[in-house]
Chain A
Amino acid sequence: MTPSLKKSPKIENACFKLITEDKEEVLISELAMKHSKFLTDFVSNFGFSPSVNGEKNPIQIQKVTGPTLKLIVKWCEHHKNDPKIREMDYCKVTAEWDQQFLQMDNEVMFDLVRASNFLDVRILFAISTKTIATWIKGKNSEQLRAIFGGTPSEKSEEKRKNSVGNNEKRRKIE
């Protein structure tokens, strides 16, 4: 369960313990945690410090489930030694490892996006939303509904044909 940690000079295995909604525990090192603005703010507000196996001050994370949190921690740990890059630069070319990392099912991806939004992991949020955007690109609405779910209603059928509001898009196709 313990992710491979870079040994902190002072305390061995210094990290924080995150407890999710479904009672799973995930350990995250301080350096990796820097990626999550939510966690860094949380920790600084409460004055927590890393401890062995995070026993001292476990942090409850409300809205995230275990598997998703593990994924996020995995990404953060992998990137914990990254120098500070501007989000825009990072998005231009996605690293090899990240591409591999982002190969996942739709549902898992949506959970990841929601969790990275909640935990405010900006870079991960940007690249995962970009991935979802590439799924959307070039598909018509039926295909999108198949992937993402959603029910067409009569209203939207009518909208598709008639509505003035949609005209600019309808005419794009014609």
Chain B
Amino acid sequence: MTENNEETIVPDEQCNLTSSTPMKSSDLENVESPIERKISIVECDGEGNPPIESSEETPPDLTSHSVAPRRRRSPRRPEVSASRLPLKVLNQIFQYLSLKDLRSAMLTCHSWNNALSMEDSDIWQQLLVQKLPEAAHSDPFLFVELRSARKKLRAWYFAWNTNDISRNNYIRTNGFTVHRQPVAQSTDGVRGKRGVSQGVHAFDITWDGPLGTVAVVGFATKHAALHCVGYIALLGSDDQSWGWNLVDNVLMHNGVQLGVYPKMNNPPKYEVGEKIRLVIDCDMHVAYFERNSEFLGIAFSHIPPLRLFPAVCAVYGNTEVTMVYVGSPQMG
């Protein structure tokens, strides 16, 4: 997974503040928090007498005085003063951080985690504005299901992958819709940016253009083909992909038709613009679809524990498919 490091909010070239302030000892493994450092200064004499030297010590003095190895001091956790910084201060600090650093910050302590869990805080809004293309912001229907800035940001990270797409497809300016160009005798697909291998994940897929003769919605591993000659149901044609053909309502995997889905007589045909939710449950190894919030039954079971990417394949020229990651579906 690539991280565009040039997009960090505080690019190192521009920011000429040094980051070396807390790391007074250059050895990171032996890092001690400042409070611990001060305590060690106080403790350095065996009898508990304060040291003769002043507390303005340089690092070499410190290491020569430190009595106890770091491990002995660890039960005396430093006062969590940084974690008690007010919310406004934390927000201001986190504004400068990239997503990767925000993750580290979230795991550091509870109050930071709480500050960053606020879904609509400025931090997320700012990242959202930065990462998402202009057209995605102005589209009123794209994020109907997602209420918070953070969820929208997350959906962006799961959207269609511009690098993992057939050459006859392209992704439109809003970043979430793939468009198939009218090329004869070709079946073309696309995968999402991120695959899932743990947990339960839901993807809202909307087929915005005409279906044509073959329009398959499903998921695939990294290795499934995204292009072939002719008009076939590419998704589901081998063991690397699983698909549901919306035209004839048939499930496909490994080149085998697995039956009509949903399992009823005359299942309704897909109408253009309907929202289909693909749910991949990696823990139970099943996948299913929902149409307009109606559960249609388990589509695929015994799915291998691989990283699976949402995928579609299409044959109709100028057709479009939108996919928005909505996270974990609420049960019940």
Contacts and interface: CB of A to CB of B under 8 A. Distances in A.
Contacts of A34: none
Contacts, number: 175
B77 A151 contact: yes
Interface residues of B, number: 63
A130 B96 contact: yes
Contacts of A134: 10, 15, 17-19, 96
B288 to A, nearest CB: 18
Interface residues of A, number: 57
A18 B86 CA distance: 23
* Chain A contact surface mostly: helix
A133 B83 contact: no
A25 to B, nearest CB: 24
B109 A150 contact: yes
Contacts of A141: 104-108
A52 interface: no
Given A99-B17, A149-B80, A171-B194, A107 B34 contact: yes
A56 interface: no
Interface stretch (A6-14, A68-76, A153-161): A153-161
Contacts of B31: 143, 146-147
Interface centre among B81, B82, B153 (most CB of A within 10 A): B82
B154 interface: yes
A149 B19 contact: no
Given A147-B33, A166-B106, A93 B113 contact: no
Nearest to A138: B101
Contacts of B33: 106, 146-149
Contact of A135 (B16, B22, B112, B117): B22
B21 A172 contact: no
Contacts of B117: 165
Given A106-B22, A113-B89, A156 B113 contact: yes
Given A107-B81, A125-B92, A134-B17, A147 B103 contact: no
Contact of A169 (B100, B108, B109, B112): B100
A169 B103 contact: yes
Given A104-B21, A137-B97, A152-B109, 11 more contacts: A105-B21, A133-B93, A133-B97, A134-B15, A134-B19, A147-B82, A150-B110, A150-B112, A156-B113, A162-B198, A165-B117
Closest 7 CB pairs of A and B: A150-B109, A169-B103, A148-B82, A133-B96, A141-B107, A134-B19, A149-B78
Interface of A: 92-94, 99, 102-107, 109-110, 113-114, 117, 125-127, 129-141, 143-153, 156, 159-160, 162, 164-174
